[in-house]
């Protein structure tokens, strides 16, 4: 293992160059040309490592637009890559290729300082993609040297994580189920620690439809959708505090009309975070009740679903976290794990029965902003951490 870890240390410059190449490709979720360009680049890098590479088409994502209409939004293909399917132990490694920066974002270029690299997606999550790639490269060097073929792997790279993995959830269900453990490469916490437990999440919208009318001549004939939406917003916000650990965040209201027109359409968009799966039924009943309380002449239609179930720590998760902590200690890292309100594909792996750690990517900060950055030295640091774990797992199977 020492030789493999020294090899990773020698790859610092190559890792930085690869990250800069990948981060310089705009891969906003709906920028299909950019996502395809990144996908093809990634395939070329993985071809020497994988036995099989599959491009898996994703179904279009249906979004509700500002007029309350359901619109299909095409998505780029996911990648599924495998090695040693016959091995007695199987790992699934995953991270997303998409970013939150659309094709017309002003944040397009990568720049750096001696300690940092800044740019779109350098931390979330192209830095993690580089770490994943080099960790597997190191594992395969170890296998070539020792002949130890006890560990096989599956890599899942999806292109819709930043919108909640609505289509790639089926890809995880097909290709991740049955794996012994999972490693995901979201950025670590800023202090380098890992996330242990996560809450769940769901995105919803309520479309209010009324009747348009002239605000002066026929005001009484109109049915104001914006007023109805505002009442629904107040009711949604009042749900906060009903259940411990549950938050309902009304994020946006679309709709309206000229000053002299009673508006006939409005759309309320909100997110729900919750700590335990058994709360879903009660929360669903509460928001359905709000949608059912439409004033006369108004319709309220609820859209959306819970997309990421809570990730709760059990003995299998705790054992995997402890094993990673032990690997970190041998590398001089003091890793702890913390609870997070954020969600990721680690939630979905847990729901499939696959224990996983989902913050094995680089150290960085200001993600989802034009100030996003990562620390250069975390590339080698985190690649060594994952490689150590993979080799340890393979040895344990002998």
For residues 192 and 210, membership in a common domain is answered with no
For residues 294 and 338, membership in a common domain is answered with no
For residues 26 and 156, membership in a common domain is answered with yes
Alpha-carbon gap, residue 381 to 361, rounded angstroms: 10
For residues 381 and 254, membership in a common domain is answered with no
Q: Quick one: pLDDT at residue 38?
A: 98
- Read off the pTM: 0.95
> What is the tens place of the pLDDT at every residue in 292-324?
999 999 999 999 999 999 999 999 999 999 999
For residues 59 and 165, membership in a common domain is answered with yes
Instruction: Say if residue 398's pLDDT is above 80.
Output: no
For residues 227 and 291, membership in a common domain is answered with yes
Helices 127-146 and 2-9, packing angle to 10 deg: 140
For residues 183 and 211, membership in a common domain is answered with no
> What is the tens place of the pLDDT at every residue in 262-283?
999 999 999 999 999 999 999 9
- What is the number of alpha carbons within 13 Å of residue 49 lying toward its C-beta? 23
57: DSSP letter: P
Q: Which of 281, 308, 335 is the last residue of a domain?
A: 308
For residues 161 and 14, membership in a common domain is answered with yes
For residues 317 and 349, membership in a common domain is answered with yes
Q: Which of 273, 308, 343 is the last residue of a domain?
A: 308
The whole-number average pLDDT for the span 169-188 is 97
For residues 185 and 210, membership in a common domain is answered with no
Q: Which domain holds residue 214?
A: 200-308
> What is the tens place of the pLDDT at every residue in 75-91?
999 999 999 999 999 99
The whole-number average pLDDT for the span 194-211 is 97
Residue 202's nearest CA partner among 282, 303, 125 is: 303
Which residue is listed with tokens 């090899």? Answer: 7
For residues 103 and 220, membership in a common domain is answered with no
pLDDT bin (cut points 50, 70, 90) of residue 210 is very high
Q: Quick one: pLDDT at residue 58?
A: 98
The whole-number average pLDDT for the span 125-144 is 98
**Structural domain tally of the chain?**
2
What is the overall mean pLDDT for the chain? Answer: 97
The whole-number average pLDDT for the span 220-239 is 98
How far apart, in Å, are the Cα atoms of 381 and each of 114, 174, 328, 378? 16, 32, 9, 5
Q: Which of 282, 308, 334 is the last residue of a domain?
A: 308
């Amino acid at each position: 293992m020492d030789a493999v870890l020294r090899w990773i240390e020698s790859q610092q410059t190559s890792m930085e160059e690869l990250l800069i190449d990948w981060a310089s490709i705009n891969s906003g979720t709906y920028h299909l040309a950019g996502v395809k360009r990144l996908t093809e680049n990634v395939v070329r890098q993985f071809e020497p490592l994988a036995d099989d590479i599959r491009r898996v088409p994703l179904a279009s994502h249906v979004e509700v637009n500002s007029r309350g209409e359901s619109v299909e939004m095409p998505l780029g293909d996911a990648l599924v890559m495998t090695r040693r399917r016959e091995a007695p132990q199987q790992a699934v490694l995953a991270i997303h290729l998409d970013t939150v920066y659309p094709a017309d974002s002003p944040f397009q270029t990568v720049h750096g300082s001696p300690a940092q690299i800044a740019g779109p997606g350098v931390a979330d999550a192209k830095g993690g993609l580089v770490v994943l790639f080099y960790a597997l490269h190191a594992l395969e060097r170890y296998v070539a040297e020792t002949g130890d073929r006890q560990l096989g792997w599956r890599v899942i790279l999806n292109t819709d994580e930043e919108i909640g993995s609505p289509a790639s959830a089926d890809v995880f269900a097909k290709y991740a189920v049955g794996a012994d453990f999972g490693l995901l490469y979201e950025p670590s916490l800023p202090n380098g620690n890992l996330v242990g437990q996560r809450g769940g999440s769901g995105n919803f919208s309520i479309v209010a439809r009324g009747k348009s009318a002239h605000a002066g001549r026929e005001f009484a004939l109109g049915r104001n959708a914006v007023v109805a939406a505002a009442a629904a917003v107040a009711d949604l916000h009042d749900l906060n505090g009903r259940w411990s650990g549950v938050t309902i965040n009304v994020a946006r209201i679309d709709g309206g009309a000229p000053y002299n027109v009673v508006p006939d359409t409005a759309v309320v968009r909100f997110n729900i975070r919750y700590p335990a799966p058994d709360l879903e039924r009660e929360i669903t009943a509460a928001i359905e009740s709000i949608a059912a309380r439409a004033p006369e002449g108004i319709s309220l239609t609820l859209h959306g679903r819970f997309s990421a179930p809570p990730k709760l720590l059990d003995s299998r998760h705790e054992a995997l976290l402890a094993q990673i902590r032990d690997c970190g200690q041998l590398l001089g890292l003091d890793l702890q794990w913390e609870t997070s309100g954020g969600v990721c594909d680690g939630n979905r792996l847990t729901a499939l029965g696959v224990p996983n750690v989902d913050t094995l990517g680089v150290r960085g900060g200001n993600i989802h902003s034009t100030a996003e950055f990562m620390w250069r030295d975390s590339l080698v640091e985190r690649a060594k951490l994952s490689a150590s774990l993979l080799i340890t797992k393979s040895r344990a199977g002998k």
